[in-house]
Structure formats: structure tokens, C-alpha cells
Amino acid sequence: MTPAPIPTVPFALDSRQQVARAWFESLRDRICAAFEAIEREAGSDASFAYTHWDREAEGQAPGEGGGGVRGVMKGKIFEKVGVNVSTVGGEFAPGFAQTIHGAADNPAFFATGISLVAHMANPHVPAVHMNTRYLVTTKSWFGGGADLNPPLPREEDTAHFHDVLKSACDAHDGDYYPRFKAWADDYFYIPHRGVHRGVGGIFYDHLECADDAGFDANFAFTRAVGDAFLDAYPPIVRRRMGESWTDADYAAMLEWRGRYAEFNLVHDRGTLFGLKTGGNIDAILMSLPPMASWS
């Protein structure tokens, strides 16, 4: 595995920001290694290619507000997978600040996190999305989640994915899984289509860190979500990646990918956040599939 570059951060980080950033980067490395291992099992030498980017925002020189690293792999099993990390800071635009937790009266912010989307070559292997993040405005909090997006849903895969996430949630708070599952069901919905984007997962936000105890608890949960993703998704890939498919299966996948693209371009808050904060366009839109169709 080619070592991934570290994002340039030209401003000082406090201890919480440093430890959160380091975790997201280490999780990126573990996920990329796991995905490359699957490619090796399939007889492919595909690897992640990494591109460093600097935040570009009005009032800041390129890189002054931090940046990130975009990692992309195109292989035999993973038709296109992007795993991004970023650490950025600056000020939200006045109008956008009004929409961000804790930024209405002071637009200064810091954000660090990981985001990934995998689109698969085999229609029987579900696509997947995962992200976790730590944000600081006048408040500080963790958010994130993971959700499974199969073109051709299988009950066994859906149950496995949810069971792993539920176990991770239950270890921290018995209310987390039903609450965060319902949040994902509500969030990953395409109203103009009247359908959900996939078979769900968990979604959480604003787990606030008002003191050290709050930070420690919510950071521990966020780490558990990252670990759970590695337990939940690769086994599904290995279970399905050798299955044969038909032209009808492939056509269904392309149509489903169109729905995925519609959600990310029209409704996804992460896409909007990246575009409004001087993020890298290619990193923001890495979530889009390599091919899709609309009937």
C-alpha cells in the first residue's frame, strides 16, 4: 500500500482537534488497506492514488485554511471508491453561517473528518457510504454515520450491516441505534422520487462536547462507528463479489446509481458544506458514480 500523504494544516490545533484529526487519518489508512486487500484477493493490483488539495476560500490564500487528501481507487471489485480526509478552518459565509450549529453569531469554524463512498463493479455488491467528523464553532460536536446502498438488496446483507452497527451503538447507549437508524431513514430519503436512497444504517449529528467528559464519550462512540464499518462492510463484499450477474442486473444498478446521484446533488448536506467552505470540487463530488442511467 502506498503511504497516504498527510493534509497540510498551517494553523495551530488544540489537543482535541489533534487527536480527532489523527484518528480520522488512521481510519482512512485502515480502510484503504482493507479495500486493497480485497482487490488482491480478486487478482487485481489496483491501489489508491492520493491527491493533496488546499482549501480555497474568499479572504484566505490557498492552503491558509487547511486542506485534505483525496484517495481514489478504480479496480476489479471496486469500480470507483473514494476515501477522503480533510482538516480545514476559517469562516463561513454570512448566509451559510446561519444554517450551521453554533455559527450564527460567530462564523469561525474548524472541521476535520473522513468521508468515503464505494461504487462496485458487481451489481450484487452493495455500494456504501460512511463519514465521521468533528466540528467546532462556538460549540463543538461529532457527527457521522454509515449506510448501505445495494442496487439489488439482499436481506442477509442488510441484517448483517445493521446488526454490526447496532452492537456498536448499544455498547455506548441503548437509545442510539433506534434513534440514529430512524434519523438515517429520514435523512437518506429522496422526496421527489418517494424512495429511500438505500437500506439505511445510522446517521447522527450534534453529539456535543461541552466538557472533556462529553468529548471523550462522543469521540469513543465515533471511533466505534469507524471500527464497526470495517466489521460490517468488507464481509459483505467478499460474500457477493464472485456472483454472476445479468444485463438486467447491470441495468438496475445503473438506474439505482442515478437515484444516488440525485440525492447527493440535490439533498446531501455534506455536498453543500463542502461547496460552501472552499472544499476541493473533485473530493466533494467523488461520491458520484462512474456511470449511471436515467430511463
206 assigned binding-site residue: no
Q: Is 208 left (phi over 0), alpha (psi -120 to 50) or beta?
A: beta
Q: Which of the residues are catalytic?
A: 129
119 assigned binding-site residue: yes
CA 195 vs CA 149, 246, 256: distances in Å: 12, 24, 11
∠ at Cα 83 (35, 191), nearest 5°?
110
Give the model's pLDDT for residue 295: 77
Task: Output the CATH code of domain 15-287.
Answer: 3.40.1500.10
267 assigned binding-site residue: no
Say which residue, 276 or 99, is predicted with more confidence. Answer: 99
196 assigned binding-site residue: no
Cβ 293 vs Cβ 248: under 8 Å: no
pLDDT in tens, 4-42: 777 667 788 999 999 999 999 999 999 999 999 999 999
pLDDT in tens, 30-84: 999 999 999 999 999 999 999 999 888 767 777 688 999 999 999 999 999 999 9
Cβ 140 vs Cβ 209: under 8 Å: yes
**Average pLDDT of the chain, as a whole number:** 93
Give the model's pLDDT for residue 290: 92
167 assigned binding-site residue: no
Give the model's pLDDT for residue 210: 93
279 assigned binding-site residue: yes
CA 261 vs CA 12, 17, 22, 133: distances in Å: 37, 32, 30, 22
pLDDT in tens, 198-222: 999 999 999 999 999 999 999 999 9
pLDDT in tens, 86-103: 999 999 888 888 989 999
**Is beta strand 189-190 parallel, antiparallel or unpaired with respect to 200-208?**
unpaired
Taken in order 155, 158, 160, 165, the sign of the CA dihedral is: negative
Q: Which of 289, 121, 129 is nearest to 203 (CA)?
A: 129
**Helix, strand, coil % over all residues of the chain, rounded to 5:** 40, 25, 35
Taken in order 14, 107, 205, 207, the sign of the CA dihedral is: positive
User: Is 90 exceeded by the pLDDT of residue 286?
Assistant: no
d(CA 250, CA 271): 27
CA 7 vs CA 22, 44, 67, 87, 279: distances in Å: 11, 28, 6, 7, 13
